[in-house]
């Protein structure tokens, strides 16, 4: 990081899910101050996965957490700064099936890891007020990406919008379809899945 003058990065276990072991780490260019965000909690000699994001600034704790996560294979990425709405940063979960977008949910957070089970807040996609052209760009990105996997019919795609609203896919989930915003209302996502199964098998 020092050699490349990179001050912030994500470390993500290759085989993780639900943000377990995911680390967002920022170092001040002074080489002294730093902050690390993750769902890992520390209890004496034990590190464990918790249900909220903690922030750490202490060098010893940060070293412990990073050393533990680096025991397995990881993906190391640039930390892309996210767009924000009402003072919180956000990204999107876009659920696609059979070449169509079924749902888009906004995941807002006051820290950089937005998974909804980590006490972050879901909000309506329409409330972002994105232009029709931007929505079409995000949809096309997702639908083009999923076409690369012709045997996969359904996916939950995590899409990050940078501060100038450039969309990037962070990851593609094999399911990623449990979205309470929809499941507790019209239930579009699971209805569409049942219809697809019916039309193929019944």
Q: What's the DSSP call for residue 124?
A: E
Q: Which is nearer to Mg ion, 158 or 182 (CB)?
A: 158
In terms of DSSP H, where are the helices of the chain?
Answer: 59-69, 132-147, 180-183, 188-201
Residue with tokens 């999107």: 92
Name the token pair of 42: 């520390």
Tokens of 1: 């990081």
CB 160 within 8 A of CB 91: yes
Matching residue, tokens 């990179």: 6
CB atoms within 10 A of CB 56: 21
Range in contact with ligand ATP (rule: CB under 6 A) among 71-79, 95-103, 146-154, 177-185: 71-79
The residues pairing with 161 across neighbouring beta strands, listed in sequence order, are: 167
Binders of Mg ion in range 153-182 (CB under 5 A)? 158
Q: Which residue is nearest to ligand ATP (CB)?
A: 114
Cβ distance to ligand ATP smaller for residue 18 or 195: 18
- Give yes or no for a contact between 40 and 55, defined as CB atoms under 8 angstroms apart: no
Structure tokens at 64: 């412990």
Closest residue by beta carbon to Mg ion: 158
Stretch that binds ligand ATP, among 43-51, 78-86, 132-140, 177-185 (CB under 6 A): 78-86
CB nearer to ligand ATP: give 75 or 197. 75
Q: Total binding residues for ligand ATP by CB under 6 A? A: 21
Closest CA to 19 of 50, 61, 43: 50
What span, in angstroms and rounded, lies between the C-alpha atoms of 61 and 93?
31
Q: Which of residues 16-45 bind ligand ATP (CB under 6 A)?
A: 16-19, 22
- Could you give the string, one character per residue 108-147, with x where binding to ligand ATP holds by CB under 6 A and - elsewhere? ----xxxx--------------------------------
Closest approach of ligand ATP to the CB of residue 21, in Å: 8
Q: Smaller CB distance to ligand ATP: residue 180 or 186?
A: 180
Interacting stretch for ligand ATP, rule CB under 6 A, among 76-84, 130-138, 180-188, 192-200? 76-84
CB closer to Mg ion, 47 vs 160: 160
Q: Can you give the binding site for Mg ion, defined by CB under 5 A? A: 158
């Amino acid at each position: 990081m020092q050699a490349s003058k990179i001050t912030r990065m994500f470390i993500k276990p290759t085989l993780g899910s639900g943000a377990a072991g995911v680390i967002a780490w920022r170092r001040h260019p002074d080489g002294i101050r730093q902050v690390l965000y993750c769902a890992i909690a520390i209890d004496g000699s034990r590190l464990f996965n918790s249900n909220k994001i903690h922030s750490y600034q202490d060098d010893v704790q940060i070293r412990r957490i990073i050393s533990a996560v680096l025991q397995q294979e990881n993906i190391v990425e640039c930390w892309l700064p996210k767009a924000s709405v009402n003072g919180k940063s956000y990204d999107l979960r876009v659920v696609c099936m059979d070449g169509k977008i079924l749902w888009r949910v906004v995941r807002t957070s006051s820290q950089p890891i937005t998974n909804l089970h980590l006490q972050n807040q879901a909000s309506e996609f329409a409330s972002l007020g994105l232009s029709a052209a931007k929505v079409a760009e995000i949809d096309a990105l997702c639908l083009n990406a999923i076409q690369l996997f012709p045997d996969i019919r359904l996916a939950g795609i995590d899409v990050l919008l940078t501060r100038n609203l450039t969309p990037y896919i962070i990851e593609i989930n094999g399911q990623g379809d449990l979205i309470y915003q929809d499941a507790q209302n019209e239930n579009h996502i699971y209805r569409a899945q049942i219809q697809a199964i019916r039309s193929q098998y019944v």
